[in-house]
């Protein structure tokens, strides 16, 4: 009886092996990859034709941002800030965006129309084409005093003449390097971007 069982087991194994050996595997369009230390064939056709779906971001609805990617850097606490940066009583959104390895400030200017603007992408009057040094990116509330704390040397606000201080009835942007000197207030005034140094 034991012998019969063993024989039947061997037959099953032989038949099983035979049926496996008779299987044809279409290896065209498949590549071997290692999964759990075993080589397995993976279909390259389905993986190469499946489009990669990108997560929609705040930039997605605007074709002006097609060549830009949103900066999401764990070392920058905020890469997206809100404020009325043009004084039209509607809040806008400023974002750090990358294009060709340079970082610019993009602004979604909400208002009667929604306009996309950039600082650092075109010949704006700040003449800076890269903001990759930014580690701190904040909105400055309307009414705060904007001033430069460095002209030839450091100075306190009390030392700054009144005609050099700027107080807006709309918001500004504060951008600064995270661990070194360098940064400033960026604000829209007299139809252009302005800069006041904050070391």
What's the min distance (Å) between Cβ of 110 and Ca ion?
5
114 touches Ca ion (CB under 5 A): no
Does 88 bind Ca ion (CB under 5 A)? Our answer is yes
* Strand residue runs (E) in 57-114: 69-70, 80-83, 92-99, 102-109
Q: Where are the alpha helices (DSSP H) in 50-139?
A: none
Applying CB under 5 A, the span of 62-70, 101-109, 119-127, 169-177 interacting with Ca ion comes to 101-109
Query: Residue from 68, 80, 92, 104 that binds Ca ion (CB under 5 A)?
Result: 92
- Which residue in the set 81, 103, 108, 109 belongs to the binding site for Ca ion (CB under 5 A)? 109
* CA pair distance 84, 134, nearest whole angstrom: 21
Handedness of CA 92, 98, 102, 103 (dihedral sign): positive
Report the residue from 16, 32, 61, 111 that binds Ca ion according to the rule CB under 5 A.
111
From the list 16-24, 106-114, 115-123, 183-191, the region that binds Ca ion by CB under 5 A is 106-114
Tell me which residues in 147-176 interact with Ca ion (CB under 5 A): none
Question: Are 169 and 142 a contacting pair, CB within 8 Å?
Answer: yes
Angle formed at CA 188 by CA 137 and CA 92, multiple of 5 degrees: 60
- Catalog residues that contact Ca ion under the rule CB under 5 A: 86, 88, 90, 92, 109-111
């Amino acid at each position: 009886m034991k012998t019969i069982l063993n024989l039947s087991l061997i037959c099953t194994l032989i038949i099983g092996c035979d049926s496996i050996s008779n299987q044809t595997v279409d290896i065209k369009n498949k590549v071997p990859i290692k999964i759990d230390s075993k080589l397995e064939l993976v279909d390259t056709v389905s993986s190469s034709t499946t489009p990669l779906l990108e997560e929609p971001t705040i930039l997605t609805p605007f074709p002006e941002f097609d060549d830009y990617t949103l900066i999401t850097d764990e070392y920058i606490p905020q890469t997206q800030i809100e404020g009325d940066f043009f004084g039209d009583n509607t809040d806008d959104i400023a974002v750090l965006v990358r294009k060709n390895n340079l970082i610019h400030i993009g602004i979604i200017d909400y208002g009667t129309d929604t306009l996309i603007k950039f600082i650092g992408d075109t010949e704006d009057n700040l003449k800076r084409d890269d903001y990759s040094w930014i580690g701190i990116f904040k909105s400055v509330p309307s009414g705060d005093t904007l001033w430069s704390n460095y002209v030839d040397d450091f100075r306190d606000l009390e030392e700054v003449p009144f005609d050099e201080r700027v107080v807006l009835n709309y918001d500004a942007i504060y951008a600064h390097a995270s661990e070194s000197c360098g940064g400033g207030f960026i604000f829209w005034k007299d139809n252009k971007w302005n800069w006041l140094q904050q070391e």
